Amino acid sequence: MASRVVDGPDENWLSAAQVRRELGGISNGTLRKLIQAGEFPSPLEVVPGGMKMWSWEDVVYWHMRVDRRERLKISECQTAPFSEQPVTKRPRKPEGD
């Protein structure tokens, strides 16, 4: 049986900056929104100093999922792709609380 090669990042663990670069140079805010929307996995590891880390497989998974988006079935609770959903802001806490 023939084997296949998966094109992915060189390192096993990626920082947020590396993940953002691998996802096309997105911002911190966009990465956070992708995670909150369930479009990208949460980090797996936190190393000393508080750095969040992702597996390179998370990046490969995301690319594969995006490539197949048109073939994926949209659930009833999500009627529009993430990029078309409105962004809602959290209300601010009153000062003094």
Topology of the domain comprising 13-70: Multidrug-efflux Transporter Regulator; Chain: A; Domain 2 (1.10.1660)
| Domains in the chain: boundaries | 13-70
Is 79 strand, coil or helix?
coil
Is 69 strand, coil or helix?
helix
C-alpha 45/C-alpha 51 separation (Å) is 8
**DSSP β-bridge partners for residue 52:** 46
Do the beta carbons of residue 40 and residue 58 sit within 8 Å?
yes
> What is the pLDDT, as a whole number, of residue 84?
54
Could you report how far apart the first and last alpha carbons of the chain are, in Å? 64
Record the pTM: 0.61
pLDDT digits (tens, 9 = 90+) for 16-50: 999 999 899 999 999 999 999 988 999 987 777 77
